[in-house]
Amino acid sequence: MGRLTGIIGVVLVVALGILASASIFTVHQTQQALVLQFGDPRRVITEPGLNFKVPFVQNVISIDKRILDLDSPAEELIASDQKRLVVDAFTRYRIIDPLQFYKALRDERRARSRLAAIVSSSMRSVLGEEEFQAVVRDKRDDLMTRIRDLVNEQASDFGIEIVDVRIRRADLPEANSQAIYRRMQTEREQEAAEFRARGQEVSRAIRAQADKQVTVLLAEATRDSEIIRGQGDGCRNRVFAKVFGQDPDFFAFYRSMQAYERALEDEGTTMVLSPDSAFFQFLRDPNSVLANSRQGSVKRGERVNINRLTADGKSLSGALCPEIEEQALADAAASAEEQAAE
């Protein structure tokens, strides 16, 4: 009898344990619970802690109350200016009404599917009204706010609150990007070719101007050098005339000696001349220069007084050729004026 009583007691304890485990449940702080009775919602529990339910009749569904992420796949949209763009966005949401959520969607898998469709249609509706530049750069924050509000209006029927909708990337499709890149590259190459052509044109103009100036300068320099050379030769001839006019015999002798030196400078020179040629006059008779002077056949010029000509500090060439000195002074004055102007 006592043994039977012990067995019954054990069975009762086990039954009570099973009954208690089926009646007691806990709600975690990151979750909220919905108590169902034969599939019909009876109670919503949003606070964490220990709770009770009717065993074997009621069951509990846990629903996450944290902020959840929905990562939408990238999709291609058309802006108002008919430009295609690829938009990659993600959504953050949370379940604020477990009862409405359960009635409308039942579980998170179906909720994600419905939200993805709502986000996609909302993005097409909002972004389709804006131009490409506004989507990519100018009004991006405002557009994300408008998309969030539009999705929130539709998701509120599911007991869901949309916390945020963010556009991660908004860009042209790959084919369009490559076409735009090639077009930009072509435009840059055209600009570079234009700049090079302009540079070459300016370079040719500068070279032509420089060549012209070089030609003019060379012509002027050649002209001036010829003038100066002519003036120098004239001055030299006047100096020679003045100097050698004092003693024509010595001048003839000096010229003959220079001629001998130039003619006999090369050892291999062969000269065929008559023995009585005037070229050998001073070789045959070195004193012939004195003989002409004694006979009075040579008319001597007026003697040049070098001391008188150079008494005021002038050079002999300056005294005999004043035009050269005047030209030098004029050139020096012009050069000074050019330097002062610069």
pLDDT in tens, 33-48: 888 888 788 888 888 8
Q: Is residue 182 in some structural domain?
A: no
- DSSP for 319-331 reads HH-HHHHHHHHHH
User: Which residue segment(s) compose the domain that 123 sits in?
Assistant: 68-172
Q: Is residue 5 in some structural domain?
A: no
Q: Is residue 91 in some structural domain?
A: yes
Confidence of residue 294 (pLDDT cuts 50, 70, 90): very low
Q: Is residue 98 in some structural domain?
A: yes
Same domain, 240 and 335: yes
pLDDT score recorded for residue 163: 92
Q: Is residue 181 in some structural domain?
A: no
Same domain, 30 and 112: no
Same domain, 30 and 121: no
Same domain, 148 and 220: no
Confidence of residue 78 (pLDDT cuts 50, 70, 90): confident
CA 264, CA 256: separation in Å to the nearest integer? Answer: 12
In the chain, % of residues over pLDDT 90: 14
Confidence of residue 284 (pLDDT cuts 50, 70, 90): low
In the chain, % of residues over pLDDT 70: 72
Number of Cβ within 10 Å of residue 291's Cβ equals 11
CA 273, CA 313: separation in Å to the nearest integer? Answer: 49
Same domain, 47 and 80: no
Same domain, 113 and 225: no
pLDDT score recorded for residue 162: 92
Verdict on whether the full-model pTM lies above 0.85: no
Confidence of residue 164 (pLDDT cuts 50, 70, 90): very high
Same domain, 57 and 124: no
CA 152, CA 265: separation in Å to the nearest integer? Answer: 118
pLDDT score recorded for residue 247: 66
- DSSP for 214-250 reads HHHHHHHHHHHHHHHHHHHHHHHHHHHHHHHTT-HHH
pLDDT score recorded for residue 307: 58
pLDDT score recorded for residue 25: 83
pLDDT score recorded for residue 132: 80
Same domain, 331 and 226: yes
Domain count across the chain: 3
pLDDT top residue among 336 and 210: 210
Q: Is residue 163 in some structural domain?
A: yes
Cα distances (angstroms) measured from residue 300 to each of 246, 268, 292, 293 = 6, 39, 12, 9
Q: What is the mean pLDDT of residues 17-23?
A: 72
Confidence of residue 93 (pLDDT cuts 50, 70, 90): very high
pLDDT top residue among 319 and 187: 187
Same domain, 118 and 146: yes
- Decide if 71 contacts 112 (C-beta within 8 A): no
Q: Is residue 11 in some structural domain?
A: no
**Which of 13, 35, 64 is at the close of a domain?**
64
Position 301 pLDDT exceeds 60 = no
Position 91 pLDDT exceeds 80 = yes
pLDDT score recorded for residue 235: 76
Q: Is residue 185 in some structural domain?
A: no
